Amino acid sequence: MTLADGIENLPFNEVTSKSIDTQFELSQTLFQIALLMTGALWGLVIAKKDEIKLVFSELSEVVMFLSSSVVLLLSVGSYGFYLWKVSHYFADASVAATKGGLGPYVPDIFDQDISYLFLCQIVSLVAGIFNGVLTLVSAHNLRE
């Protein structure tokens, strides 16, 4: 049986609840890491004169900075869209349960129609961190 837009349902119990909570907490932690990394990168742009900062005259640094920013923002956007989509499915499930007299079921947020956003968040964060670290190292090395 499906509850929301073709997503299969899961019986709502303690195990399901804990699994969903764990995935949401991990997603939120990844979001916070993406914000921290984005802040560190942009801190290089607004750094004071004597501090390590990006040298935008170097094309490689500009490319690394922009690509890091893009993939980190993709991670942040994936998180937002993931939460929006999951909340939409839970709202649909609530309406279906109320109108249809269904038992305690929740949409399967581990379904590929939803989990691709979570995976996109992880992959783009890893790419952003890798690229961001290279950008930070480059900024440090060019200063010396």
Token duo for residue 137: 């190292």
Q: In the structure, what pLDDT confidence band is assigned to residue 143 with cuts at 50, 70 and 90?
A: low
Lowest mean pLDDT among 11-15, 42-46, 49-53, 115-119: 49-53
Is 80 exceeded by the pLDDT of residue 20?
A: yes
Q: What confidence tens digit (pLDDT) does each residue in 54-70 have?
A: 666 778 778 888 999 99
Q: Write down the pLDDT at residue 67.
A: 93
Is 90 exceeded by the pLDDT of residue 99?
A: no
Answer whether 129's CB lies under 8 Å from 35's CB.
no
Rounded to an integer, the average pLDDT of 128-136 is 88
Q: How far apart are CA 83 and CA 100, in angstroms?
A: 25
Q: How far apart are CA 20 and CA 41, in angstroms?
A: 32
Q: Write down the pLDDT at residue 59.
A: 81
Q: Write down the pLDDT at residue 94.
A: 77
The model's pTM is 0.80
Token duo for residue 59: 């094309």
Which sequence spans correspond to the domains of the chain?
Answer: 7-143
Q: How far apart are CA 90 and CA 87, in angstroms?
A: 5
- Give the type of residue at 52: I
